[in-house]
């Protein structure tokens, strides 16, 4: 197979690397990609995906980020005759519109937070009354695409108000939600209509600083599997959440085909949905794919060609995988870019080094974004995976960079319980 991956971050680097290891995959192309991927894929500048797919005679196109999915790129490629891993624009609303997702969940009788929409132009009295209903922990969400950063969870009413006004100023409505307690779980599921195949459960870390301090980011690290999740945890999420939503989307005439990401809180009554995404999550994808033994190309192609129900059970490596994000100075506020990177040159995928926000300058990698690199560690135990990842990080130099030192530490220390 010749496979084209659309996207540029560490998620796409992880996809490209896994695909490059698949014996059935002849060529891996990425558009636009980044300079850290050159050892595993041929890179192409941003351009028309349909024209590029024709040029390289792609057998499969894998769309990584949410923006092209919501914009309908999968529809354009399918109309041109290509097999595509990624949902239609109509189905991608499960991430693109929080209100659409809430409506689907309500009809499917899936547990989630109560929510009230606060449209642009809402009166101060309506906003105040809605805040009164949902305090004292306020969950304020941008009802649109926000790259994982459009939510504020705070006990500070002034901070909640500030985020409401900021989102409205950008032209988007806001959702105010009730707060869901319990540890968070990310579960990726391959979905083809009503067929659902779960991957390993993961947990990510959104706040920029240790102990979940500071602003939300696109994700500072993740690990898989979850030693604290009940033995039947994944099956419960599939049965109680993902399958009902998939069936409801079929009933609504917007069947989902691709990767459905369920972000959940596991409270006293079991799993409840925090959000859905219409694609592989970043950075959870990186450790999840590192443990997948089944060749990835065949898996994604089965979804794209409507044969997921015929796919043999997935096989996984034993043990744990963990990723830590190396971020640029001043991320997430105003990342400093253009700084040289030492110790993370292309071709280090087997050491667990994946590139996100990097570029090539005079023959050297330099930082070009906020989240610069992902470093993955694996081990028989979660503690061993942590140790390996942080040891690898010590060998990478990027002036002013920072990372969280506590990825998966609460789980290692047994501080997470349901």
Query: What pTM, to 2 d.p., does this model score?
Result: 0.91
Residue 24, pLDDT > 90, answer: yes
Q: What are the DSSP E strand ranges found in 33-118? A: 42-43, 60-63, 84-85, 115-118
pLDDT-derived band of residue 350, with 50, 70 and 90 as boundaries?
very high
Q: Which pLDDT tens digit goes with each residue over 59-94?
A: 999 999 999 999 999 999 999 999 999 999 999 999
Identify the CA nearest to 206 among candidates 112, 287, 284, 320.
Answer: 284
Q: How confident is the model at residue 148 (pLDDT cuts 50, 70, 90)?
A: low
Q: What is the pLDDT of residues 362-371, one digit of tens each?
A: 999 999 999 9
Structure tokens at 72: 């309908």
How confident is the model over 197-217, as pLDDT tens digits?
999 999 999 999 999 999 889
pLDDT at 180: 87
Run of H or E residues at 207? strand 207-209
Distance between alpha carbon 412 and the CA centroid of its chain, in Å? Answer: 23
The two structure tokens encoding residue 414: 């047994």
- Mean pLDDT, residues 103-122 taken together: 92
- Residue ranges matching CATH 3.40.50.20 in the chain: 2-89
User: What integer pLDDT is reported at residue 145 of this predicted model?
Assistant: 67
Give the gyration radius of the chain's Cα atoms.
Answer: 21
SS3 289: helix
Distance CA 355, CA 343 (A): 12
User: CA 330 to CA 72: how far, in whole Å?
Assistant: 34
Q: Give pLDDT, residue 147.
A: 55
Direct distance between the N- and C-terminal alpha carbons of the chain, in angstroms, rounded to an integer: 43
In this predicted structure, what is the pLDDT of residue 149? 55
265 near 183, Cβ under 8 Å?
yes
Phi, psi angles (nearest 5°) of residue 218:
-75, -5
Tell me the average pLDDT across 138-159.
78
pLDDT digits (tens, 9 = 90+) for 39-56: 999 999 999 999 999 999
Is the four-CA dihedral 308, 299, 225, 142 of positive or negative sign? Answer: negative
**Beta carbons of 58 and 2 less than 8 angstroms apart:** yes
pLDDT reported for residue 160: 87
Q: Is the pLDDT of residue 289 over 60?
A: yes
Distance CA 336, CA 370 (A): 8
**pLDDT value for 28:** 98
| d(C-alpha 187, C-alpha 239), whole Å | 13
Token digits of residue 71: 């914009």
Percent of the chain at pLDDT above 90? 84
Q: What is the pLDDT of residue 42?
A: 98
Phi, psi (rounded to 5 degrees) for 78 = -65, -40
Average pLDDT, stretch 9-38? 98
Rounded to an integer, what distance in angstroms lies between the CA atom of residue 40 and that of residue 30? 10
* 86 to 199, 238, 344, 367: CA distances (angstroms): 16, 19, 30, 29
pLDDT of residue 98: 84
Question: DSSP string covering 217-277, please?
Answer: -S-SEEEES-TTS-TTHHHHHIIIIIHHHHHHHHHTT---EEEEEEEEEEETTEEEEEEEE
Q: Does the pLDDT of residue 186 top 90, yes or no?
A: yes
In terms of phi and psi (left: phi > 0; alpha: psi -120 to 50; beta: otherwise), the region of 101 is alpha
Q: How confident is the model at residue 152 (pLDDT cuts 50, 70, 90)?
A: confident
Looking at residue 172, what is its pLDDT?
Answer: 87
Q: Does domain 2-89 have CATH number 2.60.120.260?
A: no
Buried/exposed code over 340-349 (b: 16+ C-beta within 10 A; e: otherwise):
ebebbebebb
Q: Cα 320 to the chain's mean position, in Å? A: 19
Choose the weakest-confidence range: 2-6, 68-72, 138-142, 289-293: 138-142
On whether the CB atoms of residues 212 and 401 are closer than 8 A, the answer is no
């Amino acid at each position: 197979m010749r496979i084209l991956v659309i996207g540029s971050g560490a998620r796409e680097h992880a996809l490209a690397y896994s695909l490059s290891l698949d014996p059935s995959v002849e060529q891996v192309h990425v558009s636009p990609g980044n300079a850290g991927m050159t050892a595993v894929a041929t890179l192409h500048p941003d351009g028309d995906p349909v024209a590029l797919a024709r040029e390289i005679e792609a057998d499969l196109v894998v769309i990584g980020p949410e923006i092209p999915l919501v914009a309908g790129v999968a529809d354009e490629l399918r109309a041109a005759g290509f097999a595509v891993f990624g949902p239609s624009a109509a189905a991608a609303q499960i991430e693109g519109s929080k209100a659409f997702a809430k409506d689907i969940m309500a009809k499917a009788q899936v547990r989630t937070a109560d929510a009230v929409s606060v449209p642009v132009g809402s009166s101060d009295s309506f906003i105040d009354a809605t805040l009164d209903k949902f305090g004292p922990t306020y969950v304020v969400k941008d009802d649109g695409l926000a790259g994982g950063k459009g939510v504020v969870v705070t006990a500070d009413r002034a901070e909640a108000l500030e985020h409401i006004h900021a989102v409205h100023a950008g032209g988007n409505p806001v959702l105010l939600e009730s707060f869901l307690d319990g540890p968070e779980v990310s579960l990726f599921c391959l979905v083809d209509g009503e067929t659902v195949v779960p991957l390993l459960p993961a947990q990510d870390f959104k706040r920029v600083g240790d102990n979940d301090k500071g602003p939300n980011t696109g994700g500072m690290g993740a690990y898989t599997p979850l030693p604290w999740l009940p033995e039947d945890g994944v099956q419960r999420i599939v049965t109680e959440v993902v399958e009902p939503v998939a069936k409801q989307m079929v009933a609504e005439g917007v069947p989902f085909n691709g990767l459905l990401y369920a972000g959940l809180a596991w409270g006293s009554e079991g799993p409840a949905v925090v959000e859905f995404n219409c694609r592989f999550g970043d950075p959870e994808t990186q450790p999840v794919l590192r443990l997948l033994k089944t060749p990835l190309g065949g898996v994604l192609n089965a979804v794209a060609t409507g044969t997921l129900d015929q796919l043999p059970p997935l096989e996984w490596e034993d043990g744990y995988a963990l990723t830590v994000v190396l971020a640029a100075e001043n991320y997430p506020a105003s990342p400093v870019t253009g700084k040289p990177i030492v110790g993370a040159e292309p071709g280090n995928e087997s050491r667990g080094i994946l590139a996100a926000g990097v570029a090539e300058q005079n023959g050297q990698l330099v930082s070009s974004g906020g989240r610069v690199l992902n470093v993955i560690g694996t081990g028989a135990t979660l503690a061993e995976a942590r140790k390996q990842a942080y040891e690898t990080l010590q060998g990478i130099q990027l002036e002013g960079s920072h990372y969280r030192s506590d990825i998966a530490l609460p789980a290692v220390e047994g501080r997470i319980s349901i």
